[in-house]
Structure 1
Amino acid sequence: MIDVYTWPTPNGHKVHIMLEECGLRLGRDWQAHPVNIGAGDQFKPAFLAISPNNKIPALVDPNGPDGQPISLFESGAILVYLASKFGRFLPATDRERFKVLEWLMFQMGGVGPMLGQAHHFRIYAPEKIGYAIDRYTNEARRLYGVMDRQLAHHAHIAGDDYSIADIAIFPWLRSWQNQGIDWADYPRLKAWFDRIAERPAVQRGVAVLADARKPLTDDKSRDILFGKTQYAKR
């Protein structure tokens, strides 16, 4: 059984969705181990041993590529690993595969970090800094526009076929309201988003540990995620 150390965030959802899309089922083929990032579970030595950057998700597969256990951190790397292991959602030809990886990197280097900053300054920052809110809200809108234009020519983000690029991007757009987005400005992306949201495996993936996540309204959780606890030397 594959063990996934995770929390119901966009990066966690990517891996949950991918496993379910590959035909695996929670409780039968893989297990979700909650890492409560608001309580500081990500700093425990056992988790740091498999995720040295203290970020979820991390995965342990007892049957790695050489038949030996393998552990992985970074959600993008996990998606590529699972695509290789199960032969799903990453094309076999070089040209098509690199197009998918291109858009996966777009998510890892742009969509995730920038939308994450938009969330932080719009929702979580202890003081409202107009410059930061405008900067990251505008960048979120720019990135949505990039994806909307891409979908003018393709059914999915990286081409005509559903891929790990779609799986990586979709969870980050579920909080569109927190990012200052008006879907009316991105009709093609909204249509894509609705199609992905209807997939049964996606619905199962985003439901994993959904009841465990609570709003980060207390000072302790904010300190753990954004304050001195996050930056303590380890």
Structure 2
Amino acid sequence: MRRTLSEIREVLVPDLSGRHGPLPPLLLVLTVVTGLVDAFSYLALGRVFVANMTGNIVFLGFALAGASGFSVVASVLALAAFAAGAVAGGRLAHRAPWHRGRLLLSVTVVQTVLLLAAWVVSRVADPPLDGGVRWALIVLLAVALGAQNAVVRSLAVPDLTTTVLTMTVTGIAADGRLGGGGGARPGVRVLTVVAMFLGALAGAALIVHGNTDVPLLCAACVVAAVALALVPLRRARGSWTG
């Protein structure tokens, strides 16, 4: 327990001179954003994810099999837009000179713009969000999350992927004492699961109570806050920057 609490503290209050500097808490915040945005996409846009692509591949199989409530077009569009965002994020991550702070700043600025655009679309559109409005929102959000995932993958902060939690949950169980392991980084892994859960809970609660567009506005504001936190760090020097 002491080790777990120590790891949680290291993520929330990181050593700025350490290997990953200020990145862990910022990536944890982006994990909350993932939960918010996927809550919106699934509940408001109809059984489609814009961040967790595993779900869309499964949904695509359901749709092709003729299961009701699933859309081939929505699943394929989300996958294609996410891939396009990942390509853009990959190109951003591989350009020189490379600085982890500037890289994350760049992608969060782009994300803020895309999320705000999605919020405006959802705000002015008449409910339900279907037809062209639905397709536009899927594209905007999936591109934003695809770019985020590509950049976060390049940053390579252990157990802070901001999206994929299947292996995180597997690691908590398999690497724990019951699984015969030493419980490697349980604190970090638990934090990521909790962060996405809280984002999904908040997003779903807002939508269920009639505030359909608010999760997107919250997500945009949170990502913008991450970008602002990175502005003074864009010229920082240290082991965490490269």
- The normalised TM-score by structure 2 is 0.30
- The normalised TM-score by structure 1 is 0.31
Higher helix content, 1 or 2: 2
Which one has more relative contact order, counting CA pairs under 8 Å at least 6 apart? 2
Higher strand content, 1 or 2: 1
